[in-house]
Amino acid sequence: MEDKVYMKTYDVIARTTHQVRGTKQSLLRFGRHNQGSALLIALMIMGVLMTLSLGVSSLVLGNMRDSRVLIERTKAWYAAESGLERALLETSKNPPGFETEKNGNMGIQGPEFSYSVKSTANKFPIENGYATLRLSESVTIPLFKGATDELTVKDFHVDYYLAPNISNLGGFISNDLDILRWKIFGIAADGTMEVINEFVPANKGNSEQSPTCFGTKPNCYNNANFYRRRLGGDGASEFHKEDIAIKTFLDEHKQNFLVLTNAVNTDMIVGGLTLSEKQRLANIKYRVIEDDSGKSNLTMPTIKISSNGTFGEAKQSLDLEIKRDTFLPVFNYALYRTAD
């Protein structure tokens, strides 16, 4: 009996021991499994945090870079404006035809600038084609870009034609009708200012391909009215009218200015057109060409200024065209009427 009880007790103890061992192994396996999961989760969290950190750092660096570029561009812009202002100041202090190229800076290690002033060429307009002179409008073009003889225009001509062809639009202008008045002002050897002037017509059939011309070029209108100043017997100044060649006047004078005025008489345009239509049609196309080969002494009606500002990696550019100052209106007036 005791043996049976003993055997039963032994079996209970053995089963309990086996269960304890199984539970222990299960706990060990569970612990090892949880340790792997925790490590994986920790790595994932670290990866997410690192990604967020890199993203935030990238945004911060990008904003810093954008701020730096914006500051550099702003400083470069002000540098370009500074160059532009200096160019305008130099232009205002110098005579027509002034040109230059210069560099400068706005302090040690500060923004730098460079600017150029361009105001001369060997023809006007610079591009191929013609400029437009509207009814009663005047334009003044200096025939020099400096005080020395080599910077003075000695040979030039002006091509012009009436555009559009009014005869094709129901109107008509006589072949010998003067349409353009020109003057040349110049300083004589004694320092006085003298002038020659003339009216010139539109030749029959003139056009862009076959314009009318005046100037020193052969086969162009090349003479003008000149009132030469002389001293009379009583010592008073007298003016004697004479014809003079344009070439002669240019050689005898310096600092010459050419003035062109549209003097079309709209009363001579017929064909049932209204006054406003006649005024819109009465345009003269013209171009001025220096005939001295290889020279560019014509001063343009507009001055072109280019300015560049740099700071760091930024560069800003500004371009400006300004109309050059011309004579006071009293120099350009013209009284003209076609006889009835």
The pLDDT of residue 132: 95
User: What residue type is 58 in one-letter code?
Assistant: S
Q: What is the span of the domain harbouring residue 254?
A: 123-295
Which pLDDT tens digit goes with each residue over 18-47? 554 555 565 455 555 555 567 777 777 787
Number of domains making up the chain: 1
Residue 181 forms part of a structural domain: yes
Give the CA-trace dihedral at 186, 189, 192, 196, to 10 degrees. Answer: -40
Residue 339 forms part of a structural domain: no
CA nearest 214: which of 196, 188, 233, 232?
196
The pLDDT of residue 16: 54
Cβ atoms < 10 Å from Cβ of 260:
23
Cis peptide, bond prior to residue 211, ω within 30 of zero: no
What percent of the chain shows pLDDT beyond 70? 79
Residue 36 forms part of a structural domain: no
CA nearest 170: which of 73, 278, 249, 46?
278
Residue 275 forms part of a structural domain: yes
Residue 340 has pLDDT above 50, yes or no: no
The pLDDT of residue 133: 95
Residue 103 forms part of a structural domain: no
CA 100 to chain centroid: 16
The pLDDT of residue 321: 92
Coil vs helix vs strand at 138: strand
Residue 256 forms part of a structural domain: yes
Average pLDDT over residues 50-60: 75
DSSP code per residue over 204-239:
TT--SSS-EEEESSTTSB-EEEEEEEEE-TTS-EEE
Residue located via tokens 């061992």 = 21
> CA 144, CA 156: separation in Å to the nearest integer?
11
Cβ atoms < 10 Å from Cβ of 47:
10
Residue 286 has pLDDT above 90, yes or no: yes
> CA 12, CA 248: separation in Å to the nearest integer?
144
Asked if residues 174 and 281 have their Cβ atoms less than 8 Å apart, the reply is no
Average pLDDT over residues 125-135: 91
Q: Name the β-bridge partners of 319.
A: 306
Residue 329 forms part of a structural domain: no
Which pLDDT tens digit goes with each residue over 171-212? 666 666 789 999 999 999 888 889 999 999 888 778 889 999
Residue 264 forms part of a structural domain: yes
> CA 65, CA 63: separation in Å to the nearest integer?
5
Which pLDDT tens digit goes with each residue over 204-260? 778 889 999 999 999 999 999 888 877 777 767 777 788 999 999 999 999 999 999
